[in-house]
Each structure stands twice: as structure tokens, then as C-alpha cells.
């Protein structure tokens, strides 16, 4: 957390109400997201009990497993979930656009829309990934066949869970994480993991402080947990006795009996899920009130690319993703994520005054007044050519911590690039001497307005273009530590492109 967010948290605690952080959306919120609230059986891995799904507050579907330890019932649940999720995905695979070829990319097709799955919290997000791991290797043939939609669901859930690690990706996101980007509550991050408590600080009911409202959500009878684990008290008092009744009815061979108990189980689980359902749509409504940045559209386009390419991977009979990444794949993925993260921060700083201010507290950006300028300064290249290299000096009291030489950009002058030439300090203040290296024109024809005039207030941050993707060596030049030669791999499993 930056000091700005920390201060906001402290202020929220004192005020009894959340404080705003970033007030613009850096990722797309789809008009019709697929909300999924999964509930799981305590103790068992990936053994669903129920899921509430739907694409609007009023369109709500409840899937229930009356006896979660019964494989047939579980498969019936997974088949229904697959039908919901795959149907939602298929509806986004109709319209496509053609992206013309560029210098680096061939012409390609891209779906005009993409799916967006929203879950209440980080644990639910991880749970969908786990469900994907549990189902993607299941087989529609062989001794215990499952419906072919189940492994397909598994591959999609795995794709969503992997893609969710990409900064700014909107294909799968959890609401507590999104809310935390936009509001600081007056409680700890550990308590923020409860969506209801977090939202209570942000938008408490009339007549209550955020703290009072948040404390009220801690009573599991009034506010059942958002899952995926159910409330142990609910398990003990309600769910377990009902499931035992179900077993008894099933053993007695009474269809009417199992139907009746199944209906009771459904009602009980609906009671556990509905408060969270309302909370989620409340959170979505708050987020929809925030304006979206241009970057959100760009990131959504990248999501659509990723969605399109995974769709065609599956269309070509794509194998399930490996249990563990191959070492070279993992290294490339890690590198990609690190770069994406740095780029995400830098891009957001250009579009979001809050992020820019955050970077100013950490010294990765600065702002101040131009105190002097040499707009027609020139220098000579080693080849003897005279080039325009204007300089200007910015006075700032920000704690600038940028190494000289890094390329910087000003949010209001997107085509200009500057470098720090000198950074003398006087006490806590600094005089940053900047040299314009791009967007200033030539000595004969300087671009007007490229150099800010004395008295002007400017801000500079790292150029997001600084992070170019890194090339990894081809397999035959990959060191053996990362799966390259000399060991000849007998079976080369195909890995999906994401």
C-alpha cells in the first residue's frame, strides 16, 4: 500500500466511513457480467454444494447438490453449471472484427465481446480455478464417463483463473479486490476479505456508521458468509441434518421423500446465498457509477484477443492445460506478468490523478512548477549533427526517486518524452532538470508548446512504453534447468496460447 492509501485508511477509521481512492475504472465492467457465487462443502476440495449464477440482479439461477458426496448428483450440478457458463460464453462468440495486419502482427480475427465472470471474493476466484483443475481432466469416455461439457467447463475455468492474474484483465474478477482499488475502509485488509463488511464501510445503511454496519455483518445469522466455505454454524444446525434426512429418504427409496428434502435443502441454501447476491449487485451498481478510462477499453480488447485465441484453441480440440507449467512456460509467464504489472501502473498513472498522486508519494512520479526553460537548446550528436534538445527545470517538493536516464512522460503531453538530466536537491525540495528527447521538433522547426514555459504546473511519470516484451530463447537454446536440451523430451504436450 502507498502512503496515500494508508492515510485514507486511517482517515476512514477516524471518520467511520470509507474514503475514496481511485475514482475511475481501469477495467471493463461488462453490461451483462456472469455473477457466480460458489459454495463448497467444508473440508473437501472442490466439492460444490451450491452456486448462484445470473447476469442481472433479477435473473438469478440456483444450482444445488442435495448430497455433495454423491458423485452422480455432483456431476449433474457440474453439467448444469457447464450449461450456464458455456452458454454465456457461446453468446459472446457470434460477432467478430478483423484487425488488419501491423508491422509486428498478422491480420487476425477478434470477437467483438468477451465473457466476464464476477465472484464475491478472492477465495471464490481461487475456487473456480480449483474447480477447473478438478474437472478439466475428466473424460467423456472410459469407465466413469462424464458429460463432455464438464471437461470443457474445466478448461474454461482454468483459462479464466489464469487470465485473472493479468493486471487489469476483466475476464474473471472478484468484487472485494475491485472495491479495494476504489475505496479505503477503516478496517484491516483481513476484514476487507468479507465483501459485506467492506461494502458496509463504503455505503452503510442510513443512520449507521461504516463501523456499525460492518460489525453487524459479522453475525452469520444476519449476514451469511459470501463463501465459498459455508458458515460452520449453518452446517451444524441446518445443512448437515438436512443432508442426513436426504440420505435416509434415498435409502428408503422414497422419491417423494428425497424430492421434499431436496426442496428444503434448496430453500436453506438460497437463504445463505441471497444476501450475498444482493450485496454483489449493490457493489456492481456502485462501481458502474465510476467513469471508465481509455485504458480499460484497451485492456478489454486484449482480453477479447485472449478469449478469441483460447476459443480457437479449444475449437481445434485443445488438450486440457497441464497440471503444472513447464519451466520455460512458467518463466515466460512470470516475465510477462511482471512487465504487464509495471506497464499497468504506469498507464494508469497517465489516466488517473489518484494513481499519479500515489506514485508521487513513492517518488516514481513528481509534479511541480517550471522555474526556467531553455526551449532552443541544441546539442551535437557523435556523428556531428546538431539536434534540438530543449531543457527545463521543475521545482518540486515530491521525494523524487527516479534514476537519471529513465524516459518520462507527462499526462497532458502524450507525444513528448523527457529524461532527467540533473537532480540537485535542497533540503526536501528538488530542482529536476529535464531534457526533451522526443516530440520537440528540429532546430529549424521547433514544435510550438513542446517545452513548458516558466510558471506552468507540470507532472511527469515513467513512460509505460518502457516495458517491451522480452524474447525468450527457442527450445533448443533453453538451458536444461528450464526444460531445454540435452534431455530429449519423448512427448511434447501442446500448451495453449493465452
Partner 1 sequence: MTSADARLDTLRGSTAPLSHTARTVAALTANPGCARRAVLDAAGADKALIAGHAGFPQTSGASQSPFALARGAVFEAQVKAGGAADLIRLLRGKLGLALPEVSYADLEQVGGNTDRDVRYRRTRALLLRAARHPDQAGTLYDHPMLRLQVGGHLAYLEPDVVAFQVSGKFHVIEIKAFAVIDGQADDESVAAAAMQAAAYILTLQDLLTAESLPEAAVSTDAILVTPENFSPNATATLLDVRKQVSVLRRQLARMTRIETLLDQLPPGLTFDLAPGPDEDFTRPRGELAGALEAIPARYQPRCLKTCELAGFCRDEARAAGALSVLGSVVRDDLGSLDSIPTALALASGSREPSADQADIARALRHARNLTDALAGGAA
Interface contacts to partner 1, rule CB under 8 A: 1, 3-4, 6-11, 13-14, 23, 41-46, 130, 133-134, 186-191, 211, 218-220, 229-230, 232-233, 235-236, 239-240, 323-324, 353-354, 357, 360-361, 397-399, 428
Smallest gap from Cβ 388 to partner 1, in A, equals 32
Smallest gap from Cβ 174 to partner 1, in A, equals 18
Smallest gap from Cβ 3 to partner 1, in A, equals 5
DSSP letter string over 135-153? HTT--SSSSS---THHHHH
Q: Which is nearer to partner 1, 113 or 369 (CB)?
A: 369
CA pair distance 195, 491, nearest whole angstrom: 45
- Secondary structure (3-state) at 122: helix
Q: Between β-strands 413-422 and 429-438, what pairing exists: parallel, antiparallel or unpaired? A: antiparallel
Smallest gap from Cβ 340 to partner 1, in A, equals 23
Residue ranges of the alpha helices (H) in 172-323? 175-182, 189-192, 195-202, 210-216, 232-234, 240-251, 255-288, 294-315
Q: Tell me the Ramachandran region of residue 99: left when phi exceeds 0, alpha when psi lies from -120 to 50, beta otherwise.
A: beta
Q: Which is nearer to partner 1, 6 or 379 (CB)?
A: 6
Cβ 365 vs Cβ 2: under 8 Å: no
Cβ 56 vs Cβ 145: under 8 Å: no
Q: Which is nearer to partner 1, 149 or 396 (CB)?
A: 396
Smallest gap from Cβ 335 to partner 1, in A, equals 22
Q: Which is nearer to partner 1, 130 or 450 (CB)?
A: 130
CA pair distance 288, 364, nearest whole angstrom: 30
Helix (H) / strand (E) containing 184? strand 183-184
Helix (H) / strand (E) containing 99? strand 96-99
Q: Which is nearer to partner 1, 9 or 304 (CB)?
A: 9
Q: Which is nearer to partner 1, 187 or 306 (CB)?
A: 187
Q: Tell me the Ramachandran region of residue 367: left when phi exceeds 0, alpha when psi lies from -120 to 50, beta otherwise.
A: beta
Cβ neighbours of residue 380 closer than 8 Å, sequence gap 6 or more: 386, 387
Q: Which is nearer to partner 1, 201 or 344 (CB)?
A: 201
Q: For residue 54, count CB atoms less than 10 angstroms from its CB and return exposed for 0-12, middle for 13-18, buried for 19 or more.
A: buried
Q: Which is nearer to partner 1, 397 or 494 (CB)?
A: 397
Smallest gap from Cβ 469 to partner 1, in A, equals 28
- φ/ψ (deg, to 5) at 438: -155, 140
Smallest gap from Cβ 238 to partner 1, in A, equals 11
Cβ 349 vs Cβ 461: under 8 Å: yes
CA pair distance 401, 419, nearest whole angstrom: 13
Q: Which is nearer to partner 1, 1 or 294 (CB)?
A: 1
Smallest gap from Cβ 252 to partner 1, in A, equals 22
Q: Which is nearer to partner 1, 284 or 355 (CB)?
A: 355
- Secondary structure (3-state) at 194: coil
Q: Which is nearer to partner 1, 110 or 413 (CB)?
A: 413
Smallest gap from Cβ 132 to partner 1, in A, equals 12
How many C-beta neighbours within 10 Å does residue 61 have?
A: 13
- Measuring CA to CA, which residue among 243, 242, 219, 241 is closest to residue 231? 219
Smallest gap from Cβ 46 to partner 1, in A, equals 6
- The DSSP letter of residue 477 is G
Smallest gap from Cβ 498 to partner 1, in A, equals 19
Smallest gap from Cβ 14 to partner 1, in A, equals 6
Q: Which is nearer to partner 1, 399 or 439 (CB)?
A: 399
CA 290 to chain centre: 17
CA pair distance 356, 409, nearest whole angstrom: 12
Amino acid at each position: 500500500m502507498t502512503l496515500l492509501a494508508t492515510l485514507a485508511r486511517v482517515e476512514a477509521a477516524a471518520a467511520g466511513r470509507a474514503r475514496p481512492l481511485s475514482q475511475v475504472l481501469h477495467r471493463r465492467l461488462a453490461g451483462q457480467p456472469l455473477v457466480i457465487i460458489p459454495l463448497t462443502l467444508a473440508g473437501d476440495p472442490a466439492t460444490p454444494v451450491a452456486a448462484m449464477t445470473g447476469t442481472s440482479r433479477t435473473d438469478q439461477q440456483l444450482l444445488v447438490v442435495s448430497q455433495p458426496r454423491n458423485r452422480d448428483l455432483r456431476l449433474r450440478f457440474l453439467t448444469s453449471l457447464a450449461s450456464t457458463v458455456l452458454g454465456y460464453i457461446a453468446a459472446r462468440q457470434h460477432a467478430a472484427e478483423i484487425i488488419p495486419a501491423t508491422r509486428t502482427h498478422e491480420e487476425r480475427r477478434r470477437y467483438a465481446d468477451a465473457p466476464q465472470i464476477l465472484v464475491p471474493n478472492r477465495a471464490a476466484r481461487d475456487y473456480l480455478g480449483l474447480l477447473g483443475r478438478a474437472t478439466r481432466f475428466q473424460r467423456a469416455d472410459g469407465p466413469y464417463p462424464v458429460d463432455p461439457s464438464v471437461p470443457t467447463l474445466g478448461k474454461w475455468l482454468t483459462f479464466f483463473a489464469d487470465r485473472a492474474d493479468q493486471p487489469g484483465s476483466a475476464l474473471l474478477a472478484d468484487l472485494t479486490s475491485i472495491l479495494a482499488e476504489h475505496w479505503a475502509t477503516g478496517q484491516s485488509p483481513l476484514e476487507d476479505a468479507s465483501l459485506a463488511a467492506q461494502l458496509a464501510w463504503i455505503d452503510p445503511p442510513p443512520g449507521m456508521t461504516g463501523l456499525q454496519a460492518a460489525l453487524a455483518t459479522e453475525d452469520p445469522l444476519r449476514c451469511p458468509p459470501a463463501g465459498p466455505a459455508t458458515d460452520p454454524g449453518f452446517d451444524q444446525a441446518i445443512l448437515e441434518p438436512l443432508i442426513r434426512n436426504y440420505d435416509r429418504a434415498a435409502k428408503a427409496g422414497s422419491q417423494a421423500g428425497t424430492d421434499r428434502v431436496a426442496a428444503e435443502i434448496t430453500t436453506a441454501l438460497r437463504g445463505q446465498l441471497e444476501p450475498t447476491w444482493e450485496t454483489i449487485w449493490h457493489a456492481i451498481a456502485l462501481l458502474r457509477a465510476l467513469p471508465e478510462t481509455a485504458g480499460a477499453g484497451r485492456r478489454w480488447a486484449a482480453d477479447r484477443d485472449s478469449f478469441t485465441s483460447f476459443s480457437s484453441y479449444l475449437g481445434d480440440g485443445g488438450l486440457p492445460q497441464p497440471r503444472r507449467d513447464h519451466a520455460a512456460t512458467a518463466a515466460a509467464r512470470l516475465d510477462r506478468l511482471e512487465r504487464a504489472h509495471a506497464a499497468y501502473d504506469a498507464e494508469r498513472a497517465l489516466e488517473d490523478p489518484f494513481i499519479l498522486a500515489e506514485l508521487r508519494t513513492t517518488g516514481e512520479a513528481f509534479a511541480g512548477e517550471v522555474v526556467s526553460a531553455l526551449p532552443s537548446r541544441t546539442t551535437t550528436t557523435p556523428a556531428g549533427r546538431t539536434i534540438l534538445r530543449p531543457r527545463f527545470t521543475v521545482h518540486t517538493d515530491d521525494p523524487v526517486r527516479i534514476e537519471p536516464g529513465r524516459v518520462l512522460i507527462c499526462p497532458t503531453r502524450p507525444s513528448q518524452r523527457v529524461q532527467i538530466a540533473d537532480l540537485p536537491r535542497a533540503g526536501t525540495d528538488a530542482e529536476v532538470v529535464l531534457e526533451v528527447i522526443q516530440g520537440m521538433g528540429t532546430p529549424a522547426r521547433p514544435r510550438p508548446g513542446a517545452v513548458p514555459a516558466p510558471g506552468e504546473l507540470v507532472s511527469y511519470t515513467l513512460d509505460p512504453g518502457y516495458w517491451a516484451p522480452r524474447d525468450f530463447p527457442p527450445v533448443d537454446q533453453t538451458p536444461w534447468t528450464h526444460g531445454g536440451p540435452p534431455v530429449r523430451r519423448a512427448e511434447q504436450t501442446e500448451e495453449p496460447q493465452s
